[in-house]
Amino acid sequence: MRQTVNLSEGESLRHAVRRATWIGLWVWPSFTLLDAYMCFVAFPGAPFPLFVVGRVVVEAALLGVYWGSRQPAVAVGFLARCQNASFILAAICIALMAIPLGALRSPYMHGISIVLLVRAVVMPEPWHRALPIFTAIGLTFPAVMLAQVLVSLQARTAALEGNTLVVFGANFVFVIASAAVGLMSGHSSWAAHQQLFRARRLGRYRLQAPIGRGGMGEVWLAWDQALRRNVALKLLRPAGVPDPDALRRFEREAQAASQMRIPHSVQIYDFGVSDDGIHYIAMEYLIGVDLETLITRNGPLPPGRAIHFARQLCDCLEEAHAAGIIHRDVKPSNLFVTRVGGDPDFLKLLDFGVARLRLSPAGDVRLTKTGTLCGTPAYLAPEMWQGKEADERSDIYAVGVTLYFLLTGQVPFEGMTPAGVMIAQLERDALPPSVRRGEPLPPGLDAVVLRAIAKRPHDRYQSAVELRRALDAVPASWSAADAESFWHQPAWEMATRSGGVSDTSPTAPLPA
């Protein structure tokens, strides 16, 4: 499962927007049948085509918001504003539809109540946060009717006839009541979820909010009550009897990561199992973003910055390989950028779930069954596709592919299926990164990348130290001041403020 955005609050809001918009995509057009009844039966002669246009316009807006919710590059704050705008647009369309259906007396005013209640159900939040959008939706109908009265003498005359204003006032009371009920119910639902999260405990850890989900389990932001600090708590939640291979991978991740002492690997604090059989790993809670998201949102990196990240990755792999640990899943989504001390571009290597401990005291315990591969297709070395054992040079290949992606925004070998990627890796030659990027790179950088992704292991760099030395020889620089300038852009300041998690997506085995 691919990791997208490591921003807990932001991703939670993105998911909520997606869910709410999906519901709206079905609810909104279903009222077209009511439009037909009103135009052809209750109010013969009403312009039904205009009603259809209104439904189509709002449906298109909802579809646009839903599409945006699936694009990591679309800022969550902008997405939330667009969704609120779609609710207001729906209310405006309802008010406009009411004009030929009795105007101030129109029963379509109650459509505003439905919009308010749907908003409360699909987007529960504190009442003070919801109040502005509820107010805007609730006032839409009287605002449209007032505009009509101001521009139309016929509308003013109709508004003063009989008890029109009395009927309007009586109906509008229901809109106000719906807004009040929506605010209270939305707040209550939000508060109940918050209490549920805070009430859940796992040993000494108090679960606060879910911040990731993967093939094997979940990751939660948790509070360590003993040491009084936030941690990322990775949970293995088996359905029924735990799968031995999944449990072994989970345990191996804790063992492998805990052996790492270099600060460029995620720090493991604790590992255990709860009374009700939930295995967990407590790891450091990181604030920042993964490299895949960074490239998706911002495009290819300056060469100096890409090399800066690759050097840190080599340092981490040097220690891992010296300890007999082959990571086997090096890729941009497992590389997390955070701030450590005065370095805002500090790299952390995550997810040792498919690592192999070559020097395990108990022998080489296989984590994959015969006929399966563990990892991400685009980053798997060719020898792994051929069924050979992964070694240090397999990780070097993944570093080369990662560096290629950082420089170009693309992987060197692509395919519609894992089999297509395999064929491309085994049979095709990679274009130099400068060609894919469309501009020259510092002297020697093309050669470094292409050697790292050579098809035959003995043609690659033979160690992380050797690759690091080759990168050091490339004339490109990236300073802490450069990094500070980048992260101080408003969009990234907002993104990294909400926090991240060290690992949200365990990699499942791939069929060979």
Whether residue 280 is contained in a domain is answered as: yes
Distance CA 93, CA 108 (A): 10
Residues 188 and 325 placed together within one structural domain of the fold: no
The amino acid at 459: D
pLDDT of residue 350: 84
pLDDT of residue 501: 41
Cβ proximity of 6 and 232 under 8 Å: no
pLDDT of residue 142: 92
Residue 352: which H helix or E strand, with range? none
Residues 179 and 65 placed together within one structural domain of the fold: yes
Residues 193 and 225 placed together within one structural domain of the fold: no
Distance CA 137, CA 61 (A): 16
Nearest in space to 510 (alpha carbons), one of 375, 328, 370:
375
392, two tokens: 């240090």
- Last residue of one domain, picked from the residues 176, 197, 218: 197
Distance CA 412, CA 396 (A): 15
Distance CA 85, CA 67 (A): 15
Helix (H, G, I), strand (E, B) or coil at 422: helix
Whether residue 263 is contained in a domain is answered as: yes
78, two tokens: 């902008």
Whether residue 45 is contained in a domain is answered as: yes
- Last residue of one domain, picked from the residues 148, 175, 197: 197
Whether residue 3 is contained in a domain is answered as: no
Bridge-based pairing state of the strands 217-224 and 229-236: antiparallel
Residues 207 and 315 placed together within one structural domain of the fold: no
337, two tokens: 């950028």
Distance CA 140, CA 134 (A): 10
Whether residue 221 is contained in a domain is answered as: yes
Residues 238 and 305 placed together within one structural domain of the fold: no
Residues of the chain with pLDDT under 50: 1-8, 239-241, 359-371, 494-495, 497-512
Helix (H, G, I), strand (E, B) or coil at 206: strand
Nearest in space to 407 (alpha carbons), one of 264, 308, 288, 290:
308
Residue that the structure tokens 């790891």 belong to: 283
pLDDT of residue 3: 34
The per-residue pLDDT for range 72-83, each reduced to its tens digit, is: 777 778 888 898
pLDDT of residue 73: 72
- Last residue of one domain, picked from the residues 250, 284, 318: 284
Whether residue 414 is contained in a domain is answered as: yes
Residues 301 and 443 placed together within one structural domain of the fold: yes
Residues 328 and 232 placed together within one structural domain of the fold: no
Bridge-based pairing state of the strands 372-374 and 509-511: antiparallel
Residues 273 and 418 placed together within one structural domain of the fold: no
351, two tokens: 């997810």
Residues 185 and 86 placed together within one structural domain of the fold: yes
Helix (H, G, I), strand (E, B) or coil at 458: helix
Q: CATH code at 452? A: 1.10.510.10
Q: Kindly state the DSSP code that residue 512 receives in the 8-state scheme.
A: -
Residues 24 and 124 placed together within one structural domain of the fold: yes
Count of domains for the chain: 3
Nearest in space to 74 (alpha carbons), one of 66, 63, 84, 62:
66
pLDDT of residue 251: 77
470-473 contacts at long range (C-beta below 8 A, 24 or more positions apart):
470/444, 471/307, 471/310, 471/311, 471/314, 472/311, 473/444
Residues 347 and 212 placed together within one structural domain of the fold: no
Residues 193 and 207 placed together within one structural domain of the fold: no
Helix then strand count (H, E) for the chain reads 19, 13
Give this prediction's pTM.
0.60
Q: Kindly state the DSSP code that residue 266 receives in the 8-state scheme.
A: P
Distance CA 412, CA 429 (A): 9
Which residues are marked as active site?
Answer: 329
Q: CATH code at 261? A: 3.30.200.20
Cβ proximity of 316 and 489 under 8 Å: no
Q: Kindly state the DSSP code that residue 178 receives in the 8-state scheme.
A: H
Domain boundaries, position 14: 8-197
